[in-house]
Chains A and B, each alone.
Chain A
């Protein structure tokens, strides 16, 4: 395992992921050092541009925390995020970036533990994968 602290950009939906992140932090759950949470009004606000910007600026991994499917407060924001991720995967493949660097996680406001587990697992995955070649 490569010894480095992966930088992870987590785009968190204000109606689910951000509240879960807040819970994880409030309960003192262990979170990776390089985690950077960005609060967004809805996962549907995420565009390919935002994900690419995070990767270009040196993020080792990008996570999108969205509401559960069929439970989006903006109805289809989570599905839009999922569809856009598919588009970004295509671009990442052409750039030569591993798709493991980008992941969507559906959760609810009270899933603080799931949030913490997901970011810790992603951190371990990224350590195995190594630093982004764009650093």
Chain B
């Protein structure tokens, strides 16, 4: 899922400085799971913002809402009545949600309340780690289910670099070398021969976003 972190309160307050009435909207999908932008975080941030503004003598009225999924236009449309009654929208969804809101309400300023950080898994409660970079051409079948694009500092596709030491990465000493992990995993599942298969260089320009935003079109789903 997409992971995000709340922006510093000072930064958000600076965005909202000119406004007296805003809509603070979260998203109950990915950012709720990482405790950055769900319904609960809407309440916490809203309360904190109101208190700072009240303390400085500049009251801020905040309407609150939380989309089921803010990356879907249908759910964002549900915000229309509230959005049309405020001076600005503060979204604590991921960057996709913020853009969906901005697209849906072209006349209303929209500000991000979180920094969208990466796509990752929950390692343990309160700890999330990056696991996918959406490179556009998955190689996990070759690597025992461990992604060298997201987890190797150098994004190497055909084995470790010379800096893999004692099973750890030379860039960050406390991070395991994913190629060591791939080797161990392939050994454990009896697929070590996959290490001998050459993975060609990625077509970064066509498969990843290096040539601009990518689009997926499914004609069978279009009406």
- Seen from chain A, the residues whose Cβ lies within 8 Å of a Cβ on chain B are 47-49, 52-53, 55-56, 91, 94-97, 133-134
Cα–Cα, bound, A81→B141 (Å): 43
Knowing A47-B40, A95-B52, A96-B55 touch, does A52 contact B47 (C-beta < 8 A)?
Answer: yes
Within the complex, the shortest CB–CB distance from B163 to chain A, in Å, comes to 36
- Seen from chain B, the residues whose Cβ lies within 8 Å of a Cβ on chain A are 9-10, 40, 43-44, 47-48, 50-52, 54-55
Q: Which of A47, A49, A55, A56 has the most CB of B within 10 A?
A: A49
Cα–Cα, bound, A55→B48 (Å): 10
Verify A49–B47 contact, CB threshold 8 A.
yes
- CB contact between A91 and one of B10, B48, B50, B54 (< 8 Å): that residue: B48
Contacts of B51 on A, CB cut-off 8 Å?
52, 55-56, 95, 97, 134
Determine chain B's interface SS by DSSP, over half rule: helix
Cα–Cα, bound, A47→B55 (Å): 23
Q: Which of A91, A95, A97 has the most CB of B within 10 A?
A: A95
Contacts of B55 on A, CB cut-off 8 Å?
95-96, 133-134
- CB contact between A49 and one of B9, B44, B52 (< 8 Å): that residue: B44
Knowing A47-B40, A91-B9, A94-B10 touch, does A56 contact B52 (C-beta < 8 A)?
Answer: no
Within the complex, the shortest CB–CB distance from B65 to chain A, in Å, comes to 16
Cα–Cα, bound, A56→B55 (Å): 10
B49 and chain A: residue at smallest CB distance? A95
Cα–Cα, bound, A52→B10 (Å): 17
Cα–Cα, bound, A96→B57 (Å): 13
Could you list 11 examples of A-B contacts with CB < 8 Å? A47-B40, A48-B44, A49-B40, A52-B43, A52-B51, A55-B51, A94-B48, A94-B52, A95-B52, A95-B55, A134-B54
Q: Given A49-B43, A53-B47, A56-B51, 8 other A-B contacts at CB below 8 A? A: A47-B40, A49-B40, A49-B47, A52-B48, A56-B47, A56-B50, A94-B10, A95-B51
